[in-house]
Structure 1
Amino acid sequence: MQILIIEDDKRISDFLIKGLEEHNHLVTLCKSAEDVLSNYLFIAWDLIICDIMLGEVDGIQLVQTMRFKKIYAPILMLSALNTVQDKVAALDSGADDYIIKPFHFDELLSRIKALTRRNYYQNQETPANILVFDELKIDQSQHQVYVYEESVELSPREYKLLNYLVENTDKTVTRIQILNAVWGITFDNHTNVVDVYISYLRNKIEKKSKYIVTIKGVGYMFKTR
């Protein structure tokens, strides 16, 4: 799983990262709400672990902002505050669970499993024609593409090219294959139209992450992390 940890206490963050990586999770650490909002908001996280006491923008405010921006990943709050009012405030802000410091790592793992299991069953209701790759989202039913939740205007040909690349995710497709699938051309007529449209796509969808890889002398690949 891709897990985002938002924690400014190095002792706790080191403890979390070490334990989660030992269980084969991919972990990214942010030390402030500002860093999350600027750089990591629209990545498709499987889980977010967030401390409440963060600084100028606390964890409660950050969770409210994430939910307002339609970030639906499960969120587990960490806090040394243990009153009923503290827990209610965290859960009302949009968090899914709340664990009090100090805690045993086994308990944290158990809560993570429960949250991700719950999220898995909820996601069975998500339409299969909506694809998410980090900050890139493709709604195949509406032929709409979004980057950081902002609509990206693609021409019909650009959309068809993107869709073909996505259908062959992590596979190399040759220029001839692309010409055949997108333009209906079954032979190499020495046109550079594929390279031109690949450039158009990159300029529109690759803001931070790079998706389209050039396979030198062969063609292209839509690559996921």
Structure 2
Amino acid sequence: MELLLVEDNKRISEFVSRGLEESGFTVTLAENGVDARSLITQRQWDLILLDIMLPDIDGIELLQYTRFKKINTPILVLSALGEPGDKVKALNLGADDYLAKPFHFNELVARIGALLRRTKNLDLIENILHCDDLVLYVDKHIVKRSNQEIKLTIQEFMLLKLLMENKNKVLSRTQILDTVWGVNHNSNTNVVDVYISYLRNKIEIEGCEKLIETVKGRGYLIRTKE
């Protein structure tokens, strides 16, 4: 799980990062609002831990910016501002949870787990597929990578959906052909290779990892680190 920690207090950030990494999470630290804003839009995060009192752009502005950009990543606010009004303001602006400092580390991990479970269940309900920073909304017929929408044809969408439903599993050309184009399609055609090329050109954004791999003599797969 990829977590973004936005915290300018070095003592707190080191304590939280070390503890979360020992708990199995991957943590990226942003020590100010400008860096955090850039990281929020560049990558797909599983969860954002957000301090309110930051240099330059404060946490409330970042929270509003994130939701304005239609980024629905769960946000857990960690703040020394513990008054009920502070919590209500953050929650009303789009935070998913609020934990006042100082806090017990076990409670932090428990709240992160609850938010991640809630997100996973919502994805199942809304029929959403993930592969690292690539997201496919099955029912809405929308594909995004690093929060940028990618326009696909029907066949491209069906091909990508098949690959994402079988992450890290090699699919033969025959399997792909039968599922996406139908069993009666000419098995000697190179249409699968052509559409794999189309997909790569669209989803392999500069600066992002390549996801679709060719396995010589066997077929194709979409690989994820998840």
The TM-score range, normalised by the shorter chain, is 0.7 to 0.9
Deviations 1:185-220 (A, max 9, x none): 464x3x544333212101111222432122233221
- Contact kept in structure 1, 2:40 and 2:66, CA below 8 Å: no
Gaps of 5+ in 2: none
Measure the CA separation in 2 of the matches of 1:164 and 1:206.
17
Change (3 A) 1:60 1:203: same
Query: What does residue 181 of structure 1 align with?
Result: 179
Measure the CA separation in 1 of the matches of 2:179 and 2:137.
20
Please give the secondary structure, in 1, of the residue aligned with 2:70: coil
Change (3 A) 1:142 1:96: closer
4+ residue runs over 6 A deviation: none
Deviates more, 1:97-106 or 1:55-64: 97-106
Change (3 A) 1:219 1:11: same
Query: What does residue 196 of structure 1 align with?
Result: 194
Query: What does residue 3 of structure 1 align with?
Result: 3
Query: What does residue 147 of structure 1 align with?
Result: 145
TM-score for the superposition, normalised by structure 1: 0.80
Per the TM alignment, residue 119 of structure 1 is displaced from its structure 2 partner at its CA by: 4.8
Query: What does residue 126 of structure 2 align with?
Result: 127
Measure the CA separation in 2 of the matches of 1:44 and 1:158.
22
Measure the CA separation in 1 of the matches of 2:161 and 2:221.
12
- Contact kept in structure 2, 1:176 and 1:186, CA below 8 Å: no
The alignment covers a number of residue pairs equal to 221
Deviates more, 1:66-75 or 1:143-152: 143-152
Change (3 A) 1:72 1:186: same
Measure the CA separation in 1 of the matches of 2:158 and 2:81.
52
Please give the secondary structure, in 1, of the residue aligned with 2:224: coil
Per the TM alignment, residue 59 of structure 1 is displaced from its structure 2 partner at its CA by: 0.8
Change (3 A) 1:106 1:138: closer
Per the TM alignment, residue 108 of structure 1 is displaced from its structure 2 partner at its CA by: 2.2
Measure the CA separation in 2 of the matches of 1:111 and 1:179.
44
Deviations 1:99-135 (A, max 9, x none): 33333323323433444455556x278322x323343
Counterpart mapping for 1:40-119 below 5 A? 40-41=40-41, 43-116=43-116, 119=119
- Contact kept in structure 2, 1:42 and 1:135, CA below 8 Å: no
Per the TM alignment, residue 85 of structure 1 is displaced from its structure 2 partner at its CA by: 4.2
- Contact kept in structure 2, 1:74 and 1:95, CA below 8 Å: yes
Measure the CA separation in 1 of the matches of 2:179 and 2:107.
51
- Contact kept in structure 2, 1:42 and 1:134, CA below 8 Å: no
Deviations 1:31-58 (A, max 9, x none): 3333343344375533321111222211
**Which letter does structure 1 place at the counterpart of 2:212?**
I
Change (3 A) 1:20 1:217: same
**Which letter does structure 2 place at the counterpart of 1:170?**
N
Gaps of 5+ in 1: none
Provide the aligned C-alpha RMSD in A: 2.9
Measure the CA separation in 2 of the matches of 1:197 and 1:118.
35
Change (3 A) 1:146 1:109: closer
**Which letter does structure 2 place at the counterpart of 1:146?**
K
